Amino acid sequence: MLLDLTAGQIHYIELNLLCIITLLMLARKLRLANKSIEQSYLIALLAGESALFLSDMLWEIIDGKMIYPVWANYAVNIMYFTVLTACPYLCLKYLYLSLGGKDLTRRQRYYLQIPIWVTLILSVISVKTGLVFYITANNHYGRGPLYLFICVASLVYTLADSLYALLVAIRTEQKYLRIKALRLAGVMFLPAVGSAMELVFPQLAVACSFITITMVSVIFDFQQQQITRDALTQLSNRRDLMTHLEGRFADRNRFLRRPVYVIYADIDLFKQINDAYGHLEGDHALCYVADVLRAACGTRDAFPARIGGDEFVVVFSASNDQTAESFRQNLKDAVQHISEKLPYNLAISAGMTRCTEQDQADIPALLSRADEQLYQEKKNRKRG
């Protein structure tokens, strides 16, 4: 079958095959890790990119060879153009969850999927109309009048992924999120560059390599996050918290410009929730609190973490003690508000302390001081 292929075609097939194997190996590695929605989106993206390379490879084998039926050439091209548009959508779903901390709404998914359905419909009707592509009687592929439109639309969609990450980097006040968003914006720009180069110079075969490099970078970033994330709540863990605090103190100008505070919190009567409703519901309670902290910290210069059990820490900046106290109380009120939808009372106690330059030498002592304020609040509540 491959005897009729030129050396250039064989090289192109080998390159696509290598990229497919690389992506499938990454997907297999991800499947062995802890299950999460973010992980499932990455696996779907890897599968989509593999399907894109597979269809491109099959086209190289089938096109212009009469031993293959014409319908096979149509099927491969329909698959290629559809997946070409679907991959940027899958990428955006991952970025939105990874950088925004939440999933796309049903309405957002509906509108963002429109280009995929339009591409699929135009590709299918091309069998009769030749709008996007056509296949000649001797099984040769040709570009239709809407070919450029589909390719440019996919390219714009890909650029939108990078632009979204860049906007997150510009808007967020959280330094760690800004660095992550800038890194993802950079690597997400590579597929757009590769696609644009192939669009201008069709003889080049760089898009699959650029996409694979991007996916390797994204997977590496994801796995690095797993080292510093709490598996249940997906908040930062103690290790990442310590790194963040060290970074806060290292940025002396920022530290002196706005005071830094540490909130140490735990869930009230957490053992009773576990005993009465089961440990699964206890896990849900932890996730509810994590969601509140994540949402509250996403709009300001704040860093939430779960450091073990039902204990959480939030590091944040505020203009003065009064503003910091208001933020602490808002966190407690937001958690309490969740109880309206639960069969039990969900509340947190939260101690707070203001950081000093001396704390840089003993960060554990800083956390202990905030912990002492937490237990002081509990004592005061019992006395009241």
- The C-alpha torsion from 181 through 178 and 315 to 235, rounded to 10°, is 0
**DSSP calls for 146-166:** THHHHHHHHHHHHHHHHHHHH
pLDDT averaged over the chain? 88
Beta-ladder partners of 260: 317
For the ranges 24-28, 156-160, 173-177, the lowest mean pLDDT is seen at: 173-177
The predicted structure's pLDDT at residue 33: 64
Q: How confident is the model at residue 2 (pLDDT cuts 50, 70, 90)?
A: very low
Mean pLDDT computed over 5-20: 88
For the ranges 9-13, 249-253, 266-270, 362-366, the lowest mean pLDDT is seen at: 249-253
Domain boundaries, the chain: 2-228, 238-383
Residues 6+ apart with CB under 8 A from 223: 33
Q: How confident is the model at residue 34 (pLDDT cuts 50, 70, 90)?
A: low
Dihedral sign, CA of 329, 334, 337, 338?
negative
The predicted structure's pLDDT at residue 346: 92
Mean pLDDT computed over 168-179: 78
- CATH number of the 2-228 domain: 1.20.1070.10
Query: Which position has the higher pLDDT, 37 or 17?
Result: 17
Q: What is the pLDDT of residues 304-333, one digit of tens each?
A: 999 989 999 999 989 899 999 999 999 999
The predicted structure's pLDDT at residue 377: 87
* 264 backbone dihedrals φ, ψ, rounded to 5°: -115, 120
Mean pLDDT computed over 99-126: 92
User: How would you class 98 by CB atoms within 10 Å of its CB: exposed for 0-12, middle for 13-18, buried for 19 or more?
Assistant: buried
The predicted structure's pLDDT at residue 384: 55
pTM equals 0.72
Q: Is pLDDT above 80 for 252?
A: no
The predicted structure's pLDDT at residue 361: 86
The predicted structure's pLDDT at residue 147: 93
Query: Which position has the higher pLDDT, 205 or 138?
Result: 138
Q: Using an 8 Å Cβ cutoff, are 326 and 273 in contact?
A: no
In the chain, the percentage of residues whose pLDDT exceeds 90 is 54
Mean pLDDT computed over 72-88: 95
Q: What is the pLDDT of residues 349-383, one digit of tens each?
A: 999 999 988 888 899 999 999 999 998 888 877 76
- CATH number of the 238-383 domain: 3.30.70.270
Mean pLDDT computed over 24-35: 80
Q: How confident is the model at residue 89 (pLDDT cuts 50, 70, 90)?
A: very high
Mean pLDDT computed over 72-91: 95
Query: Which position has the higher pLDDT, 174 or 165?
Result: 165
**DSSP calls for 29-76:** HHHTS---HHHHHHHHHHHHHHHHHHHHHHHHHHTT-TTS-HHHHHHH
- DSSP 8-state code for residue 302: E
Question: Cα–Cα distance between 330 and 21 in angstroms, integer?
Answer: 50
The predicted structure's pLDDT at residue 70: 93
Q: How confident is the model at residue 222 (pLDDT cuts 50, 70, 90)?
A: confident
